[in-house]
Structure 1
Amino acid sequence: FCVGDKFFLKNNMILCQTDYEEGLMKEGYAPQ
């Protein structure tokens, strides 16, 4: 769990922005 300004809720898990963006890239989506 990381401390920062931006968090995202995905699959009932709280992700920080970097982890969230990496997840999007792995799934083949580009961050908006």
Structure 2
Amino acid sequence: MKRLKIKILEEQIIIKESGVNDNNNNNNNNIS
């Protein structure tokens, strides 16, 4: 469970760094 949460947070950081909009962050949360 913790490992999955860390992976999601890492993905959100990558998305923010690459300048993609917030909709992709919401999609990642829904997948988990």
TM-score by length of 2: 0.42
TM-score by length of 1: 0.42
- Greater relative contact order structure (CA < 8 Å, 6+ sep): 2
| Structure (1/2) with the larger helix percentage | 2
| Structure (1/2) with the larger strand percentage | 1
